[in-house]
Chain A
Amino acid sequence: MAGRKSDPYRASPLLVKVALATLALVVAVIVVGGGYAVWRIYDDEPVVYESDIAHFKYGSTGGERGWKLQFGFGIPYWLWIALPEVAPELLPDGKAGQGFQAFGLLYEDGRNPVFDLPIGTSLRRVQGIDRVYLNCAFCHTGSVRDEPGGERQLVPGMPANTVDLGAFATFLGDAAKSRKFRDREVMAVIAQLRKDREAWLETQPDEVRDRDWPAPLGPVDRAIMRWVGVMTMRDQLLSFMGRLDFIDFSTAGPGRVDTFNSPKALLGFNMYSEQVDPDEMYGNVDFPSVWNQKARRGMNLHWDGNQCSTDERNLSAAFGTGATPATLDKPKLIRVANWLWDQAQPPAFPPQRIDPDLAARGEPIYRQYCWECHGNGHPPFREPGGGSRVGEVEPIDAIGTDRGRLDSYTPLLAVNQNTLYAGFPEAGEEYCRQYSEAICDPDVPEAEFEALRVEFLDECYPARFSHFRKTNGYANQPLDGIWLRAPYLHNGSVPDLAALLEPAERRPTVFYTGYDVYDFERVGFVTQPGQVPDGAGWRFDTTQPGNGNHGHEGAEYGTELPPADKQALIEYLKTF
């Protein structure tokens, strides 16, 4: 009794209980909330595929995720599928309900373009949100059909002949700028899509229902998306596309990209400065095929032969999938690299459409006119001491093709790329040097190289970029699967082999790309104005800068052969 008023440590038991209970509640909230936050922040789960081909088509390279202050390139799945529905008027054909098909993205048979992901995109749950971004297959999986309306053959490793990356990028930027890209509007579309997907899944067989569908947004996620996610994504898209603003994406068309102008953005180059050479802005080239990488070891890679290491080339290309040094998923990229190394092969030209006798007549012609630069038709393309220049750079004055791509890769860009993957092991130094030299030396025997690779891959990959060089021509490429690599020349300016064997003035000036129906006689896709249905192709104008179709012509290049010889040569090339 005496202590009650003067002793502060003996306050009312009720007050104490309430205080303790409140404290306990606060602590619990902090612990639980904190634990949840920690779990979410560190959550990182890509979808894992059993087959290497599926991994190539849909596997993640790490680009979805961010690191520390980086939000990452990954677009939340629900936002991804909402984009074509939010602003369909910005799509090439203005039609909603088809996902991204209008950009030539490939949805496999049985997949719903509204809810499924196309080939070339990957799904990864990062920080509790399922996010989508591009992977290697986006630019390196193509489509071919026998006839209009015929069954499509989707070919991993083939140049993505139907994909209009430029239009797709433009759409992302335009959608972000659109008035409709706001939290309420987007959330409303997402809510509708959720219902629609539920309804659609009910009509589907088990095997479709059982696929790894990203879950509908829970209450926490909905709140995050509504209050933060949508606008953050908008910001992200705007700033990313802003960095690329100096590139005119409308000039590429399906199957092409300006490879080395984007890295200039990555390095923060001021592309509006007066010092920018106008000649460096026209670098549009065909997506290349990526099969048979093992047989390409040590060749000068990329159209202008600026790179000799397949490792470094893969890492450089991986930037396009959002994988930066901080976010790269190394094992996943290596899995892709391993598949491309010696598993990925081009499909054969339909044998029933090859005349074996004619093809046999073509072989010596190939040997005389083509082999010296292009090597063998199947791996190994090159024989040690064999005498072909396959993989070597042909000086521009000799090959005479369009300079646009060559000039887009500047000497200043080449040296600045040496700062990429800085902080990683030095390829040229002591420990890693042996491996770094072997990967660029085609004369190192296979077995020896494979042993080195096993020994050094862990510690010496990735390594700081150190192999980029400025060249002065275009590299002679092996012709494996050449039938699926149309149109031809680095900039895709010659539609088919028949045209390539004509001098430039007889090659088509204007033709249409992106149509996947094949012309088995001329060996290339159907590209002629009358034969490509309206809206199915993109008008390729060879008079535009960077699109020149001259070069690779003259007696040495077979353009002066008699027609019968040209036929035989083309027939022989069908066997590659």
Chain B
Amino acid sequence: MALQSRWKQKLIVLALFLVLLAVPVAWFAWYNFFRQVPQPEWITGDPEMNFMYGSIGGEASAGLPYWLIVVLPRIFGEYVPGPGGYAAFGVPWEEGRELPVGFSKKTVGFERVGFNCAMCHAAQYRISEDDTPTIVAGGGSHTADIQGLLEFLSRCANDERFNADNILAEIDLAYRLSFTERMMYKYLLIPMVRKILQQQGESWEWTHDRPRWGPGRDAPMNLTKFILLGMPDDGTVDHTDFPSLWNLKTRVQEGRVWPEDDHSLTADFSKLDTPLDRLMLMNLAGDTTSYRSVIIDSALGLQPPQDVGLPSPDPVTPFFRQRVAEIEEWILNTPAPEYPLDYDEGLATLGSELFEQHCAGCHESGRDNRMGTVIPMDEIGTDPMRAESWTQEAADKANEVVVEELGMERTPMSKPYDGYVALQMDGLWLRGPYLHNGSVPTVRALLEPPECRPRTFYRGYDVLDAQFLGFVSLQCDAEGNPVHERPAHCADIPVAGGCVPDGKGWLHDTREAGNDNSGHLWGTTLADTEKEALVEYLKRRDKQGGA
């Protein structure tokens, strides 16, 4: 009897001891790995700052340790495409800020850095070479080499020098880590991140055989298919310019969109009143029925799943939902930026009549026209690869993954028919190069027949083309004239101005898969002066807020 109660006592003491021990251990784990600290007020309190630097909730699952982000460019300088840290990848970086636009710093236990929408959707421009760049949140980035940036991270991880000794030695030059932080980095974070980045590198295999994205572009549908949905590589190419996000409100007319509360898992267009070719769809090829779905799926795309043997936190949290709502609110109401340069008033007035005659049917906002609808491929005639890369099968799978597996209700991704959406003409001056794949450097060049448009040009140089709408995209000869080779029958007039300095910009070759610049023949038969007038009108239009 006495023996039994002695054992019981010992057991109780042991249990109590374990419970008492568990408390500090649990607290320690919570404090160093899970504790969420809201970002500072200057970010969360300002919608524009929140867009540029605010967390979208991905740090817990996909955030990289802050100090690793800080020192990687310092250790692996030779993997950075130039002397400039992350800025050398063309991600805009405001003077005085700790991190570039698109990098959100947040404490979840320890300080982490995640990526947000602004990484691809913040456009930087300069008026002259000597200017400090102006950064416009919500624009489509023209300079960001996202492929390069993500490859950089994997290349570092695959390098032998990516180990605790080297990394901690570099961090020690910059900051005094506490003992706990040091142990965490050394035994946990660095080895884990190495593995994660190596895996991510492997998940990029499919990009190696394809032409590069170049600055200002990515492969949105293939990223979704192969990484988020885990579908097999189907060989398609879908290079797409990052689009601008502003003025969203005018893109969605009542009665012509999919009802927001219809969260079907597959898009059955037949049950809507509006015929398919009058429906206002989202994404450049109409792959989504609502802007909210675009935001959700894009945001989820910034938090790729990983497999390191640890449970991955659910990305769809209340915070995520809140951020989706905030971003939606902001881009619905943010106006397009005003054109900063001058235009010719006389020509602009002539141009407005020409626009009404030749363009408004697809491009004027606020009317019952084709703006926002998918123009069929045989009509638009532009590079078909982007449209072809998305299929009904992929759309259905996306709905299954996002809605069923991740639990985020939204209207369905879809596949209406091959074609591209007619876009708004707002902030056009900052949206170069043009067409969905950014294959035409200036608006003026778009008004030339395809064989007369520049066959090669440079993207990623951020000085505005003051005359022809777009960015400066051609290199010049010894006399300072832009070099633009074209067939003899083409009009020998300039369609792109300025000079890209030696060594700047990335060569876009329209002969590469996905880069073709044919199609969109509207306006190409106008007289030269009429084309000029159209361009001046579009500049004036952007002085008045665009759409």
Contacts and interface: CB of A to CB of B under 8 A. Distances in A.
Interface of A: 66-70, 264, 267-277, 324-326, 410-416, 418-420, 422-423, 426, 428-430, 464, 466-470, 472
Interface stretch (B85-93, B242-250, B411-419, B536-544): B85-93
Contacts of A464: 98
28 contacts: A68-B182, A70-B169, A267-B73, A268-B77, A269-B77, A269-B80, A269-B83, A271-B83, A273-B83, A325-B174, A326-B172, A326-B173, A410-B83, A411-B132, A413-B83, A414-B95, A415-B84, A415-B87, A415-B97, A416-B84, A418-B95, A419-B99, A419-B174, A423-B175, A428-B96, A468-B96, A469-B95, A470-B132
A352 B195 CA distance: 75
Contacts of B100: 415
Interface size class, chain B? 35 or more
A412 B95 contact: no
A419 B76 CA distance: 16
A415 B96 CA distance: 7
B165 A69 contact: yes
Nearest to A68: B172
List the 3 shortest-distance A-B pairs measured between CB atoms, nearest first: A412-B84, A275-B82, A268-B74
A277 B81 CA distance: 13
Nearest to A465: B96
A412 B85 contact: yes
Contacts of B133: 411
Contacts of B503: 274-275, 277
A419 B78 contact: no
Contact of B40 (A70, A429, A467): A429
Nearest to B501: A277
Interface in B93-108: 93-100
A324 B175 CA distance: 8
Contacts of A68: 168, 172, 176-177, 182
Contact of B82 (A276, A426, A469): A276
A70 B100 CA distance: 28
Interface string B142-183: 000000000000000000000001001100111111000010
Contacts of B73: 267-268
B95 A468 contact: yes
B512 interface: no
B261 interface: no
Interface string B492-513: 0000000000010000000000
B82 A422 contact: no
A275 B96 CA distance: 24
The interface centre, meaning the residue of B94, B165, B173 with most chain A CB atoms within 10 A of its CB, is B173
B82 A412 contact: yes
Nearest to B133: A411
B165 to A, nearest CB: 7
A198 to B, nearest CB: 38
A326 B82 contact: no
B172 A422 contact: no
A273 B81 contact: yes
A407 to B, nearest CB: 11
B41 A270 contact: no
B172 A67 contact: yes
Contacts of B307: none
B174 A269 contact: no
Nearest to B88: A412
Given A270-B83, A412-B83, A418 B78 contact: no
B125 to A, nearest CB: 14
Interface in B29-80: 40-42, 70, 73-78, 80
Contact of A423 (B41, B84, B94, B174): B174
A410 B87 CA distance: 11
B130 interface: yes
Contacts of A426: 40, 98
A447 B93 CA distance: 36
A275 B132 contact: no
A302 to B, nearest CB: 15
A412 B77 CA distance: 14
A415 to B, nearest CB: 4
B310 to A, nearest CB: 27
A428 B284 CA distance: 40
A429 B96 contact: no
Contacts of A469: 95-96, 132
Given A270-B82, A410-B84, A418 B97 contact: yes
Given A268-B77, A269-B77, A413 B84 contact: yes
The interface centre, meaning the residue of B40, B82, B87, B177 with most chain A CB atoms within 10 A of its CB, is B82
Contacts of A468: 95-96
B165 A415 contact: no
B210 to A, nearest CB: 24
B175 A422 contact: yes
Nearest to B84: A412
A468 B94 CA distance: 11
Contacts of A472: 130
A133 to B, nearest CB: 15
Contacts of A67: 172, 176
A264 B83 contact: yes
B81 A275 contact: yes
A429 B42 contact: yes
Contacts of B174: 324-326, 419-420, 422-423
A70 B172 contact: yes
Contacts of B84: 269, 275, 410, 412-413, 415-416
Given A275-B81, A275-B82, A472-B130, A415 B95 contact: yes
